[in-house]
Amino acid sequence: MNRAANAPVGTPEPAEYAAWLGGDKGHDKEHGKAQGRGSARQRKRTIADLACFGGAPLFAEIRSTSNLVQPPQDAFFAAVSEAFETGRLATGRGPCVARLEARLAKLHEAEHCVTFCNGLWAIVLALRCLKLPGRDQVVMPSLTYRRLADIAAWAGLTPHFCDVCPETLAVDTQTIGACVNDSTAALLIAHPIVNLCDVQAIESFAAQRGLPLLFDAVEAAHASWGGRMLGSFGDAECYSMHASKFLNAFEAGYVTTNNGDLAERLRTLRSGDAVKDLANADWVPGFEAPLNELHAAMACASLDDLQDQIGRNLERHRRYAAALVGPPGLTRVACDGGPAGAPGLTRVACDGGPIGVNGIELVRYAEPSSGEIRTFKNTLVRLTSAWPLSRDQSIELLHAENLLVRPYYSPPLHHKPAAYATICGELPVTDRLSREYLLLPCGEFLRLEEIDRIGELLAFVEQHGSAIAARLSSRGSACGGAA
């Protein structure tokens, strides 16, 4: 099998994913190139060339962390035409919605899929169905999506924030267990952006304590654990198909489950009707939140493009792995372990050991040599103590270059003001990690050669870091202080 130069050992070719998905449409190498606009400008030679000091931005147009995948137009318009012919555009029961739910259930190896107008109502209504009667708390991470606590409040529950594991950025049974009490109505467990939670351990933990378990799997839309696709773990799993996510439906959400009664109750609630709480005979109010046919058509077209998108993501993933190795002369460790670092920067395998470069840790995905499936969509980096700038200085500098990097879930939810009650103890790991990580640009509008330029820019910043930090601090910039 031919592999690209510098490709991590054990990483699958797009064709391998195509075979696993049951087809081989081929990898459209021009797709990603066609999306890119406003290529990178001249390289930085002195710190005066940096945009924050008056130089031209590295990119003429913003490069973001949103996926923004555009599926084949012909597939989308064909599905839209069918929807118009039926006249069932917004009922949640049209042919596109039915086809989408069947395909998603098969993709996730789940018995049922129920779609919604967005991911918010998917989680709210699932929580309303699952929560234990007479209890009012939901255990959930603080280091997660900025609106997840709001969603729990919509479901009538009080968020009880738990800490995460420093190695995986995910909750585990120990951090969850520290928050479980007699008022716990459910567990709302969100996967982090790159790693997965230990779903089987958490599933066993919840079962032993008789607690409903709902996974927020928005950032794990196409992934496996122990060779089993995510989609049927816990009582249910929730997903988003916002345009920024792996599958683009403009805006949509869905729940997968093996519980037929739960699926039927969700369909009833989705139509705006109420259902009786099976535990205490109280009525659970519904909310009219069906998915319309146009958005379902977009999602179906995205599914048609799924295997090719993984191939494009994999190319960007590999390019970042090569681009973030750092200046010549730095030692670098191969993906499968062993020492390899440049001073201050370490790449970390998704579920494995470290690798290094220039003050930044690249959080990598679990190698599919382990048999697991991943999307390769996001690139997450950690700023180590050797990186010369604070996290916020780094953001200011990179934003000026039109690199719209994002701090990883910062501030965490327990530091955000809320109009409802929350419960939180000390979360030292969450507090530390929320200051250390950045998401780098990714997605369909990022060209491969632009990733090389990003790597060169980061190496330049590392090389001239002391002078850059001093100049940022001396001018009193908004982000010039400590992270």
> 193 and 114 in one domain?
yes
CATH code of residue 351: 3.90.1150
pLDDT for 27-37, tens place per residue? Answer: 343 444 444 45
Query: Burial of 4 by CB count in 10 Å (0-12 exposed, 13-18 middle, 19+ buried)?
Result: middle
Q: What is the pTM of this model?
A: 0.83
Quick check: 26 pLDDT over 60?
no
CATH code of residue 109: 3.40.640.10
Predicted pLDDT of residue 36: 45
> 111 and 252 in one domain?
yes
45 found inside a domain:
yes
Give the separation between CA 142 and CA 363, rounded to whole angstroms: 20
Q: Which of 286, 304, 322 is the last residue of a domain?
A: 304
Per the structure block, which two tokens stand in for 212? 């409903």
Phi, psi of 131 (to 5 degrees): -60, 145
431 found inside a domain:
no
Number of domains in the chain: 2
> 234 and 106 in one domain?
yes
> 185 and 162 in one domain?
yes
> 106 and 253 in one domain?
yes
4 found inside a domain:
no
3 found inside a domain:
no
Q: What b-and-e string marks burial along 129-164, b requiring 16 or more CB atoms within 10 Å of the CB?
A: bbbbeebebbbbbbbbbeebbbbbbbbbbbbbbbbb
Quick check: 105 pLDDT over 80?
yes
Give the separation between CA 360 and CA 394, rounded to whole angstroms: 11
> 117 and 38 in one domain?
no
> 278 and 130 in one domain?
yes
- The boundaries of the domain holding residue 38 are 14-68+307-405+441-474
> 175 and 62 in one domain?
no
Q: Which of 304, 335, 350 is the last residue of a domain?
A: 304
pLDDT for 391-428, tens place per residue? Answer: 899 999 999 999 999 999 999 999 999 999 999 999 99
427 found inside a domain:
no
Spacing of C-alpha 362 from chain mean position: 15
Give the separation between CA 365 and CA 78, rounded to whole angstroms: 35
DSSP string over 116-165: ESSHHHHHHHHHHHHSPTT--EEEEESSS-TTHHHHHHHTT-EEEEE---
Predicted pLDDT of residue 15: 38
Residue located via tokens 């998603």? 104
Q: Rank 22-36, 151-165, 344-358 by mean pLDDT and report only the highest.
A: 151-165
CB count within 10 Å of CB 32 equals 23
Q: Which of 304, 328, 348 is the last residue of a domain?
A: 304
Comparing 205-219, 276-290, 314-328, 345-359, the range with the smallest average pLDDT is 345-359
344 or 72: which leads in pLDDT? 72
Phi, psi of 42 (to 5 degrees): -60, 150
> 160 and 127 in one domain?
yes
Per the structure block, which two tokens stand in for 335? 């993906």
424 found inside a domain:
no
Give the separation between CA 125 and CA 311, rounded to whole angstroms: 34
Quick check: 325 pLDDT over 70?
yes
Quick check: 148 pLDDT over 90?
yes
429 found inside a domain:
no
Predicted pLDDT of residue 477: 55
Quick check: 273 pLDDT over 60?
yes
1 found inside a domain:
no
Quick check: 196 pLDDT over 80?
yes
Quick check: 212 pLDDT over 90?
yes
Give the separation between CA 358 and CA 324, rounded to whole angstroms: 8
> 347 and 259 in one domain?
no
